[in-house]
Amino acid sequence: MSEPLIIAIDGPAASGKGTLSRRLASFYGLRHLDTGTLYRGVAWIMLRDGFEPRDEAAAVKVARAFDPEILGSADLRTPAVGRSASLVAVHEGVRKALFDFQRSFGLQKPGAVLDGRDIGTVIFPDATVKFFITASPEERAQRRYLELRASDEGVTYEGTLAELKRRDERDQSREEAPLKPAAEAEIIDTSKLTPDEVMARAVRIIDNVVRGRT
Ligand code: CDP
Ligand code: CDP
């Protein structure tokens, strides 16, 4: 196989795209990039240095100087960082500054699984296979609530649902790279599926595409 295999996975928060991406990367021997961590990394630096995430000039500066090393060291998974990530992600200059890193990551052989919001639409419109992973807001809020509750007893299901809907709305309605399925994306609603079932569907689809191109 000469061309790198690139699997693009988009979807809203807690849809299960990270879980599927990690499994696919391990199954096909590909590298994996959770592109949300790039926006979370920029947001984390902004918060640490006392910048307001809406400050576009500061956000672009941070994104241009972005060092992926930060991804392993910072606490990026908190709700505050998630909220700020979606605020810095609306800035066109931030998205442009992170573009090349994502492209080069995917283009190294043997290829990669990238997950995020705009992989199939903007970063890799030329991906080998594209998925849009989704689930009902209530199901996603329940999943995120269970994750957060493990480390924070103050978290509530209602608060998690409200925050998740606000973030969906911001990600879908922004001008730059809004969250939406790519035209040819395979859509999987994971609301009533187990991670194993989602994986089995995705592998069937990928194997069909890969068989067709060799
Ligand atoms: O894990 P979760 O789905 O909650 O969020 P994430 O994937 O870490 O992304 C955090 C935020 O970064 C999202 O709400 C988006 O605003 C932004 N993001 C983006 O704009 N484009 C991407 N490719 C990935 C994330
Ligand atoms: O990356 P994203 O924010 O889209 O979601 P995730 O972190 O992969 O998944 C959120 C939670 O949903 C995890 O606890 C998964 O075990 C669970 N889940 C799933 O990923 N897929 C299903 N079909 C059902 C549950």
Question: Tens digit of pLDDT per residue, the chain (214 long)?
Answer: 568 899 999 999 999 999 999 999 999 999 999 999 999 999 999 999 999 999 999 999 999 998 888 888 778 988 899 999 999 999 999 999 999 999 999 999 999 999 999 999 999 999 999 999 999 999 999 999 999 999 888 999 999 999 999 999 999 999 999 999 999 999 999 999 999 999 999 999 999 999 888 7
Q: Is the CB of 111 under 6 A from ligand 1?
A: no
Measuring from atom 2 of ligand 1, which residue has the nearest CA?
13
Give CA–CA dist 136/38, Å, rounded: 25
The reply to whether 12 sits in an annotated binding site is yes
**Which pLDDT belongs to residue 153?**
87
Is ipTM strictly over 0.95?
yes
180 is in an annotated binding site: no
Ramachandran region of residue 136, left (φ > 0), alpha (ψ -120 to 50) or beta? beta
For residue 152, the CA-to-ligand 1 centroid distance in Å is 21
Residue 207, CA distances (Å) to 10, 125, 132 in order: 19, 19, 17
5-213: CATH architecture? 3-Layer(aba) Sandwich (3.40)
Residue 135 Cα to ligand 2 midpoint, Å, equals 10
User: Within 13 Å, how many C-alpha atoms sit on residue 9's CB side?
Assistant: 31
Q: What are the sequence ranges of the domains in the chain?
A: 5-213
Tell me whether residue 19 is annotated as binding: yes
> In this structure, which residue's CA is closest to atom 19 in ligand 2?
16
Look up the pTM and report it.
0.96
Among protein residues, the one whose CA lies closest to atom 22 of ligand 2: 195
Taking CB atoms and a 6 Å cutoff, what residues make up the pocket around ligand 2?
11, 13-19, 143, 147, 190, 193-195, 198
The answer to whether the CB of 82 is under 6 A from ligand 1 is yes
Closest residue (by CA) to atom 2 of ligand 2? Answer: 14
Look at strands 31-34 and 111-116 and give their pairing: parallel
* Residue 106 contacts residue 124 (beta carbons within 8 Å): yes
Token pair, residue 183, equals 């035209």
Burial-class residue 63 by CB neighbours within 10 Å (0-12, 13-18, 19+).
buried
